[in-house]
Amino acid sequence: MPLWTEVADRVFVRRYQPLDISVALVLGETGALLVDTRCNPREADEILSDAASFGREITHVVNTHAHYDHTFGNQRFAETAVIFGHHLIPRHFAEFESPRLVEWQANPEAQPQYDWHGVSLTPPTELLESPIDLDIGNRIVRLIPLGPGHTDTDLVIQVPDAGAWIVGDVIEESGPPMYGSGSFPLDWPVQIETLAGMIADSDVVVPGHGAPVDSAFVRAQADLLGTVADGIREAFARAEPVELVAERIAGATALPLDFAEAGVHRGYSLLASGDVSG
Protein backbone atom coordinates (compact mmCIF):
# COMPACT_ATOMS: atom_id res chain seq x y z
CA MET A 1 0.00 0.00 0.00
CA PRO A 2 1.19 3.56 -0.65
CA LEU A 3 2.31 5.69 2.27
CA TRP A 4 1.39 9.22 3.26
CA THR A 5 3.86 11.77 1.89
CA GLU A 6 4.33 15.10 3.66
CA VAL A 7 4.38 17.54 0.74
CA ALA A 8 4.39 20.65 2.96
CA ASP A 9 4.29 21.34 6.69
CA ARG A 10 1.61 18.99 8.10
CA VAL A 11 0.05 18.55 4.66
CA PHE A 12 0.01 14.88 3.72
CA VAL A 13 -0.96 13.17 0.47
CA ARG A 14 -1.63 9.53 -0.26
CA ARG A 15 -2.28 8.19 -3.77
CA TYR A 16 -4.92 5.50 -4.07
CA GLN A 17 -6.05 3.08 -6.74
CA PRO A 18 -8.27 2.87 -8.63
CA LEU A 19 -7.77 6.04 -10.65
CA ASP A 20 -4.59 7.22 -8.86
CA ILE A 21 -6.60 9.70 -6.81
CA SER A 22 -4.59 11.99 -4.53
CA VAL A 23 -6.25 12.17 -1.11
CA ALA A 24 -4.93 14.94 1.15
CA LEU A 25 -4.94 15.36 4.92
CA VAL A 26 -4.17 18.71 6.56
CA LEU A 27 -3.38 18.52 10.27
CA GLY A 28 -4.29 21.14 12.84
CA GLU A 29 -3.44 21.03 16.52
CA THR A 30 -6.72 19.41 17.49
CA GLY A 31 -8.32 18.21 14.27
CA ALA A 32 -7.70 17.30 10.67
CA LEU A 33 -9.16 18.28 7.32
CA LEU A 34 -9.59 15.55 4.70
CA VAL A 35 -9.79 16.39 1.01
CA ASP A 36 -11.96 14.01 -1.06
CA THR A 37 -13.48 10.68 -0.06
CA ARG A 38 -12.96 8.31 -3.03
CA CYS A 39 -15.45 6.02 -4.78
CA ASN A 40 -17.44 4.18 -2.11
CA PRO A 41 -17.79 3.58 1.65
CA ARG A 42 -15.24 0.76 1.65
CA GLU A 43 -12.60 3.03 0.11
CA ALA A 44 -13.51 5.77 2.60
CA ASP A 45 -13.01 3.26 5.41
CA GLU A 46 -9.55 2.60 4.01
CA ILE A 47 -8.76 6.31 4.30
CA LEU A 48 -9.97 6.32 7.91
CA SER A 49 -7.80 3.32 8.74
CA ASP A 50 -4.75 4.80 7.03
CA ALA A 51 -5.23 8.18 8.73
CA ALA A 52 -5.62 6.75 12.23
CA SER A 53 -1.87 6.81 12.83
CA PHE A 54 -1.90 10.62 12.90
CA GLY A 55 -3.92 10.63 16.11
CA ARG A 56 -6.26 13.36 14.88
CA GLU A 57 -10.00 13.17 14.47
CA ILE A 58 -11.11 14.11 10.96
CA THR A 59 -13.24 17.13 11.83
CA HIS A 60 -13.60 18.64 8.37
CA VAL A 61 -14.02 17.09 4.92
CA VAL A 62 -13.82 18.99 1.63
CA ASN A 63 -14.96 17.83 -1.81
CA THR A 64 -12.91 19.42 -4.58
CA HIS A 65 -15.76 18.79 -7.02
CA ALA A 66 -18.80 16.58 -7.55
CA HIS A 67 -17.41 13.62 -9.50
CA TYR A 68 -17.92 10.15 -8.06
CA ASP A 69 -14.27 9.36 -7.36
CA HIS A 70 -14.07 12.39 -5.05
CA THR A 71 -17.46 12.24 -3.29
CA PHE A 72 -18.97 8.75 -3.18
CA GLY A 73 -17.30 8.04 0.17
CA ASN A 74 -18.95 11.05 1.82
CA GLN A 75 -21.50 9.02 3.74
CA ARG A 76 -18.79 7.62 6.01
CA PHE A 77 -18.10 11.12 7.35
CA ALA A 78 -21.61 12.56 7.46
CA GLU A 79 -22.12 11.97 11.19
CA THR A 80 -18.62 12.78 12.43
CA ALA A 81 -17.37 15.72 10.34
CA VAL A 82 -18.59 18.83 8.58
CA ILE A 83 -18.45 18.30 4.81
CA PHE A 84 -17.76 21.35 2.63
CA GLY A 85 -18.22 21.73 -1.09
CA HIS A 86 -19.26 24.02 -3.92
CA HIS A 87 -22.86 25.18 -3.74
CA LEU A 88 -23.65 23.65 -7.15
CA ILE A 89 -22.76 20.09 -6.12
CA PRO A 90 -26.39 19.11 -5.38
CA ARG A 91 -27.43 20.23 -8.87
CA HIS A 92 -24.54 18.33 -10.45
CA PHE A 93 -25.43 15.25 -8.39
CA ALA A 94 -29.01 15.38 -9.67
CA GLU A 95 -27.96 15.82 -13.29
CA PHE A 96 -24.98 13.48 -13.52
CA GLU A 97 -23.86 11.46 -10.50
CA SER A 98 -27.27 10.22 -9.33
CA PRO A 99 -28.34 8.82 -12.74
CA ARG A 100 -24.98 7.15 -13.29
CA LEU A 101 -25.02 5.64 -9.79
CA VAL A 102 -28.49 4.19 -10.40
CA GLU A 103 -27.26 2.69 -13.68
CA TRP A 104 -24.06 1.31 -12.16
CA GLN A 105 -25.86 -0.23 -9.20
CA ALA A 106 -28.39 -1.85 -11.54
CA ASN A 107 -25.63 -3.28 -13.75
CA PRO A 108 -22.61 -4.05 -11.53
CA GLU A 109 -21.20 -6.46 -14.10
CA ALA A 110 -20.57 -3.53 -16.46
CA GLN A 111 -17.78 -2.24 -14.20
CA PRO A 112 -16.62 -5.19 -12.09
CA GLN A 113 -13.51 -3.31 -10.97
CA TYR A 114 -15.69 -0.90 -8.96
CA ASP A 115 -17.88 -1.52 -5.93
CA TRP A 116 -21.03 0.59 -6.10
CA HIS A 117 -22.95 -1.52 -3.60
CA GLY A 118 -24.02 0.46 -0.58
CA VAL A 119 -23.12 3.88 -1.98
CA SER A 120 -25.61 6.47 -0.77
CA LEU A 121 -25.17 9.80 -2.52
CA THR A 122 -24.31 12.30 0.22
CA PRO A 123 -23.88 15.98 -0.67
CA PRO A 124 -21.77 18.35 1.41
CA THR A 125 -23.44 19.76 4.49
CA GLU A 126 -21.87 23.21 3.98
CA LEU A 127 -22.33 24.62 0.47
CA LEU A 128 -20.01 27.48 -0.48
CA GLU A 129 -20.56 30.32 -2.93
CA SER A 130 -17.59 32.42 -1.76
CA PRO A 131 -14.24 31.80 -0.05
CA ILE A 132 -14.11 31.04 3.67
CA ASP A 133 -11.37 30.52 6.24
CA LEU A 134 -11.58 27.43 8.45
CA ASP A 135 -9.80 27.04 11.78
CA ILE A 136 -8.86 23.37 12.14
CA GLY A 137 -7.06 23.84 15.46
CA ASN A 138 -4.80 26.90 15.58
CA ARG A 139 -4.39 26.63 11.82
CA ILE A 140 -6.27 28.41 9.04
CA VAL A 141 -7.22 26.68 5.82
CA ARG A 142 -8.89 28.66 3.04
CA LEU A 143 -11.59 27.17 0.78
CA ILE A 144 -12.06 28.92 -2.57
CA PRO A 145 -14.95 28.03 -4.92
CA LEU A 146 -14.09 28.56 -8.58
CA GLY A 147 -16.15 29.32 -11.66
CA PRO A 148 -16.86 26.75 -14.39
CA GLY A 149 -13.85 24.67 -15.42
CA HIS A 150 -13.31 20.95 -15.00
CA THR A 151 -16.88 21.14 -13.67
CA ASP A 152 -19.04 23.97 -12.36
CA THR A 153 -18.45 22.60 -8.84
CA ASP A 154 -14.68 23.09 -8.56
CA LEU A 155 -13.24 24.25 -5.25
CA VAL A 156 -9.59 24.60 -4.23
CA ILE A 157 -7.98 24.53 -0.81
CA GLN A 158 -5.13 26.81 0.24
CA VAL A 159 -2.98 26.15 3.30
CA PRO A 160 -1.31 29.57 3.60
CA ASP A 161 1.17 28.79 6.38
CA ALA A 162 2.53 25.84 4.40
CA GLY A 163 2.55 27.31 0.89
CA ALA A 164 0.30 24.46 -0.26
CA TRP A 165 -2.68 24.16 -2.58
CA ILE A 166 -5.00 21.19 -3.09
CA VAL A 167 -6.86 21.72 -6.33
CA GLY A 168 -8.69 18.55 -7.37
CA ASP A 169 -9.09 17.85 -11.07
CA VAL A 170 -8.71 21.49 -12.07
CA ILE A 171 -5.12 20.24 -12.54
CA GLU A 172 -4.22 16.68 -13.61
CA GLU A 173 -0.73 15.18 -13.40
CA SER A 174 -0.86 11.40 -13.88
CA GLY A 175 -3.10 11.67 -16.91
CA PRO A 176 -4.33 14.32 -19.35
CA PRO A 177 -7.04 16.81 -18.37
CA MET A 178 -10.41 15.05 -18.46
CA TYR A 179 -13.43 16.60 -20.13
CA GLY A 180 -15.86 14.59 -18.03
CA SER A 181 -19.47 15.07 -17.04
CA GLY A 182 -20.37 18.73 -16.71
CA SER A 183 -17.06 20.12 -17.98
CA PHE A 184 -16.60 23.61 -19.41
CA PRO A 185 -13.75 23.38 -21.96
CA LEU A 186 -13.96 27.04 -22.99
CA ASP A 187 -13.87 28.45 -19.45
CA TRP A 188 -11.48 25.96 -17.85
CA PRO A 189 -8.24 27.68 -18.95
CA VAL A 190 -9.51 30.99 -17.55
CA GLN A 191 -10.01 29.39 -14.14
CA ILE A 192 -6.50 27.94 -14.16
CA GLU A 193 -5.02 31.29 -15.18
CA THR A 194 -6.83 32.92 -12.26
CA LEU A 195 -5.58 30.20 -9.93
CA ALA A 196 -2.03 30.52 -11.26
CA GLY A 197 -2.11 34.19 -10.34
CA MET A 198 -2.63 33.24 -6.69
CA ILE A 199 0.04 30.53 -6.52
CA ALA A 200 3.58 31.56 -5.56
CA ASP A 201 6.55 30.07 -7.39
CA SER A 202 7.59 28.30 -4.20
CA ASP A 203 4.15 26.80 -3.50
CA VAL A 204 3.35 23.11 -3.88
CA VAL A 205 0.19 22.13 -5.75
CA VAL A 206 -1.59 18.82 -5.17
CA PRO A 207 -3.63 17.75 -8.22
CA GLY A 208 -6.66 15.49 -8.13
CA HIS A 209 -4.70 12.62 -9.63
CA GLY A 210 -0.96 12.15 -9.57
CA ALA A 211 2.11 13.68 -7.98
CA PRO A 212 2.41 17.21 -6.57
CA VAL A 213 3.39 19.89 -9.09
CA ASP A 214 4.58 23.49 -9.09
CA SER A 215 3.32 26.80 -10.44
CA ALA A 216 5.07 26.27 -13.78
CA PHE A 217 3.11 23.05 -14.32
CA VAL A 218 -0.12 24.90 -13.55
CA ARG A 219 0.67 27.61 -16.10
CA ALA A 220 1.61 24.99 -18.70
CA GLN A 221 -1.72 23.21 -18.21
CA ALA A 222 -3.52 26.54 -18.61
CA ASP A 223 -1.70 27.01 -21.92
CA LEU A 224 -2.64 23.51 -23.10
CA LEU A 225 -6.30 23.96 -22.25
CA GLY A 226 -6.23 27.42 -23.81
CA THR A 227 -5.04 25.86 -27.07
CA VAL A 228 -7.96 23.44 -26.93
CA ALA A 229 -10.46 26.20 -26.18
CA ASP A 230 -9.18 28.40 -29.00
CA GLY A 231 -9.34 25.48 -31.42
CA ILE A 232 -12.92 24.71 -30.46
CA ARG A 233 -14.07 28.32 -30.85
CA GLU A 234 -12.41 28.77 -34.22
CA ALA A 235 -13.72 25.47 -35.56
CA PHE A 236 -17.24 26.13 -34.32
CA ALA A 237 -17.26 29.46 -36.16
CA ARG A 238 -16.35 27.56 -39.35
CA ALA A 239 -18.91 24.80 -38.65
CA GLU A 240 -16.23 22.13 -38.92
CA PRO A 241 -17.13 18.53 -38.02
CA VAL A 242 -16.32 17.42 -34.49
CA GLU A 243 -14.20 14.46 -35.59
CA LEU A 244 -11.94 16.59 -37.77
CA VAL A 245 -11.47 19.19 -35.05
CA ALA A 246 -10.72 16.54 -32.43
CA GLU A 247 -8.04 14.98 -34.62
CA ARG A 248 -6.41 18.36 -35.17
CA ILE A 249 -6.49 19.24 -31.45
CA ALA A 250 -5.15 15.83 -30.44
CA GLY A 251 -2.28 16.27 -32.87
CA ALA A 252 -1.47 19.75 -31.59
CA THR A 253 -1.68 18.97 -27.87
CA ALA A 254 -0.92 15.24 -27.51
CA LEU A 255 -4.31 14.75 -25.83
CA PRO A 256 -5.76 11.28 -26.47
CA LEU A 257 -8.21 11.43 -29.35
CA ASP A 258 -11.20 10.40 -27.23
CA PHE A 259 -10.39 13.12 -24.69
CA ALA A 260 -10.14 15.73 -27.44
CA GLU A 261 -13.38 14.54 -29.01
CA ALA A 262 -15.20 14.78 -25.66
CA GLY A 263 -13.91 18.33 -25.24
CA VAL A 264 -15.00 19.37 -28.73
CA HIS A 265 -18.45 17.83 -28.34
CA ARG A 266 -18.96 19.61 -25.04
CA GLY A 267 -17.54 22.89 -26.33
CA TYR A 268 -19.77 22.86 -29.40
CA SER A 269 -22.80 22.17 -27.20
CA LEU A 270 -21.98 25.08 -24.90
CA LEU A 271 -21.33 27.46 -27.80
CA ALA A 272 -24.61 26.47 -29.43
CA SER A 273 -26.48 27.15 -26.19
CA GLY A 274 -24.56 30.33 -25.35
CA ASP A 275 -23.48 28.85 -22.00
CA VAL A 276 -19.95 30.27 -21.98
CA SER A 277 -18.48 33.21 -20.13
CA GLY A 278 -16.38 34.69 -22.87
**Could you read off the pLDDT of 173-232 as tens digits, one per residue?**
999 999 999 999 999 999 999 999 999 999 999 999 999 999 999 999 999 999 999 999
Strands 31-35 and 57-62: parallel
pLDDT classification of 1: cutoffs 50, 70, 90: very low
The pLDDT of 125-146, averaged and rounded, is: 99
Structurally, at CATH architecture level, domain 5-215 sits in 4-Layer Sandwich (3.60)
What are the boundaries of each domain within the chain? 5-215
Euclidean distance between CA atoms 242 and 265, whole angstroms: 7
Question: What angle separates helix 242-253 from helix 215-237, to the nearest 10 degrees?
Answer: 150
For the whole prediction, is pTM greater than 0.95?
yes
Question: What end-to-end distance do the CA atoms of the chain give, in Å?
Answer: 45
The pLDDT of 119-146, averaged and rounded, is: 98
- Coil, helix or strand at residue 240: coil
Euclidean distance between CA atoms 30 and 20, whole angstroms: 29
Mean model confidence pLDDT for the chain: 97
Helix segments in 93-241, DSSP class H:
98-106, 188-196, 215-237
